[in-house]
Structure 1
Amino acid sequence: MAKKLVIKVTAGADAPERCSQAFTVAAVAAASGVEVSLWLTGESSWFALPGRAAEFELPHAAPLPELIDGILAGGTITVCSQCAARRGIEEKDLIEGARIAGAQVFVSEIMPEGVQALVY
C-alpha cells in the first residue's frame, strides 16, 4: 500500500461526478489510514472557501463538507496558487486546514518512492 496518496481534482460543479469521485477517494483513503494530499485546481478551487462545499449537490453522493472533514482529519487540502490567483482567492479566505501552494510543492509531493498520484 502507498505511504501517501496525492490526488489532483481538476473539476468542480462543472463536472460533479468527477469532482465527487476525487473527494470520495481521498476521504476513504484518509479513513483507511493513508496519508492523503488533495489538490484543488480549476473550478474545484472554490470548495476551499467556507460554505462553498455545502452548495454542491450530487444525487447518491456523500455530502462534500463531510468528505472534506474526513480528508482534513487524515491529510491536507491544497489550492493551486495560479488557480487561486485567477479567482481572487487568498490564504485568508480558505477553510481552516487548507493552504495555497504551487507546482513545485506538488512535484515534491509526488516524487518520493511509495507515493501514488491520481488526477480527476
Structure 2
Amino acid sequence: MADSLVIEVVAGPDAPERCNQAFTVAAAACAAGVPVEVWLNGEAAWLAVPGRAAGLVLEEAAPLTELLEIVLEAGQVRVCTQAAARRSIDPADLIEGVTIAGAAAYLERILREGTRTLVY
C-alpha cells in the first residue's frame, strides 16, 4: 500500500459520478489510515465553498458532504490557486480547513517517495 495518496479532482457538478467517486476513494483511504490530500481543480474548486457540495446529488452514492467531512477530518483538501482565481474564490470563501495552494506545492507533494496519485 502507498504511504500516502493524492487525489486530484477536476470534475465537479459537471460530472457528478466521477466527482463522487473521487471522494468515495478518498474517504475509504482515510478510513484505512492512509494519509490523503484531495486537490480541487477546475469546476471541482466550487466544492470548497460552503453549501456547494450539497448540490451534488448522485443516486446510490454517499452524500458528497459526508465524504468531504471525512476527508477534512482525517486528511487535507486544497484548491488550486489558478482555479480559485478564475472563479473569484478567496480563502475567506472556503469551508473551514480547506486551503488554496499552487502548482509548486502540488508537485512537491506528488513527487514524494511512496505517494500515489489519482486524477478524477
Shorter-chain TM-score bucket reads over 0.9
Q: Which residue of 2 aligns with 1:38?
A: 38
What is the rounded CA distance, in whole Å, between the counterparts of 1:10 and 1:115 in structure 2? 19
The alpha carbon displacement at 1:10 in A equals 0.5
Q: Which residue of 1 aligns with 2:68?
A: 68
The alpha carbon displacement at 1:28 in A equals 0.6
Letter in 2 for 1:52: R
Q: Once superposed, what is the RMSD of the aligned Cα atoms?
A: 0.6
Aligned with 2:99: secondary structure? Answer: strand
| Residues 11 and 43 in structure 1, CA contact (< 8 A), matched pair in contact too | yes
Runs of 4+ in 1 over 6 A off after TM superposition: none
What is the rounded CA distance, in whole Å, between the counterparts of 2:107 and 2:33 in structure 1? 23
Can you give the 5+ residue segments of structure 1 that lack an aligned partner in the other structure?
none
What is the aligned-residue identity percentage? 57
State yes or no: 1:5 paired with 2:5: yes
Can you give the 5+ residue segments of structure 2 that lack an aligned partner in the other structure?
none
Letter in 1 for 2:23: F
Aligned with 1:17: secondary structure? Answer: helix
Task: Give the length in aligned residue pairs.
Answer: 120
What is the rounded CA distance, in whole Å, between the counterparts of 1:56 and 1:119 in structure 2? 19
What is the rounded CA distance, in whole Å, between the counterparts of 1:5 and 1:63 in structure 2? 21
**Mapping of 1:1-120 within 5 angstroms?**
1-120=1-120
